[in-house]
Amino acid sequence: MATELQDFLEVIQQVDTFERFQEATVGLRDLLNITHVVYHWVNSVGERFGAGTYSSEWVDRYLEKDYLRMDPVLFGCFQRFTPVNWKQLDWSSKAAKAFFRDALDHGVGNQGYTIPLRGPNGQFALLTLSHNATDDQWERFITRYERDLMIVAHEFNKKALSFDAPGDVQSGPTLSPRETAAITLIAKGFSRGQAAAEMRISEHTLRVYIESARHKLGAMNTTHAVARALSLGLIII
């Protein structure tokens, strides 16, 4: 690992407030000598949090124009496992082209590289680097730093996570074996009657499990309970 980035990991580990995230992104930008570094994070309750070097005008415009719903970077990363060079994305739609032009006008670089990382409970994070460079230059930059940046992204996430769920992991509700089995069957598309038959219990009993699980999960209805159980990783389908 490049020694300058080695040191930078220490900087991340000392982040203790949201504001420090901002400083850390600035630090990384200056270290790599590029135009922008942005860290974007969606926590387990769907709250978005961003820290980075984009101008506040661009951030406001991005939110105002609801670019979240058309940004090919965000969209591409939602469907991907691996980091992505922006050039590889699909910019063919009219909306995407307009968005890219708008971004350029607001100081975002013409090149970009984004690392997506996912956690349990729908946690989703992006570390984005942007710069003005030729395709070749950018390719070389990525080749040089991609592995280091992966580590940096993970360190950022570790910090973000520590803010999200301070303390224990095992805090959420737990389901009994029969409740888990019942909810899992329902999540697989079984009706109550089918699920009861599968579990060889009366439909009445199955209802008790579902209701019990629903209460534990604080869910409004069965569908909500299934969604929460899935999000919390309590069941696997």
Distances (CA, A) of 77 to 42, 80, 120, 175, 212: 13, 5, 16, 33, 37
Nearer to a copy of itself (CB atom), residue 17 or residue 82: 82
Distance CA 206, CA 122 (A): 28
Using CB under 8 A as the binding rule, the residues of this chain from 160 to 189 that contact a copy of itself are 161, 169-170, 177, 180, 186-189
Span of 11-19, 79-87, 103-111, 198-206 interacting with a copy of itself by CB under 8 A? 79-87
Instruction: Give the sign of the dihedral formed by CA 67, CA 71, CA 74, CA 79.
Output: positive
CB of 229 to DNA, least distance (A): 13
Spatial contact of 21 and 39, defined as CB atoms under 8 Å apart = yes
Which residue from 27, 110, 190, 205 is in contact with a copy of itself, where contact means CB under 8 A?
190
Query: Within 13 Å, how many C-alpha atoms sit on residue 60's CB side?
Result: 3
80 binds, among DNA, a copy of itself, none (CB under 5 to 8 A by kind): a copy of itself
Q: How far is CA 24 from CA 13, 94, 191, in A?
A: 10, 35, 51
Question: Each residue of 81-90: b (16+ CB within 10 Å) or e?
Answer: eebbebeebe
For binding to DNA (CB under 7 A), which residues are involved? 93-94, 174, 176-179, 191-193, 199, 201-202, 204-205, 207-212, 214, 220-223
The answer to the question of residue 158 lying near a copy of itself (CB under 8 A) is: yes
Which pair of structure tokens corresponds to residue 39? Answer: 């860290």
Rank residues 28 and 187 by Cβ distance to a copy of itself and give the closer one. 187
Among 90, 136, 200, 204, interactor with a copy of itself by CB under 8 A: 90
φ, ψ of residue 94 to 5 degrees: the values are -60, -45
Would you state the structure tokens that stand for residue 105, as one six-digit string? 């006008």
* CB 22, min distance to a copy of itself, A: 21
Q: Which helix (H) or strand (E) holds 51?
A: strand 48-52
Name the segment binding a copy of itself (CB under 8 A); options: 11-19, 31-39, 134-142, 220-228. 220-228
Return the number of the residue (63 or 98) whose C-beta is nearest DNA: 98
Nearer to a copy of itself, 61 or 80 (CB): 80
Segment contacting a copy of itself by CB under 8 A, of 10-18, 49-57, 201-209, 215-223: 215-223
Q: How far is the CB of 32 from DNA (least distance, A)?
A: 36
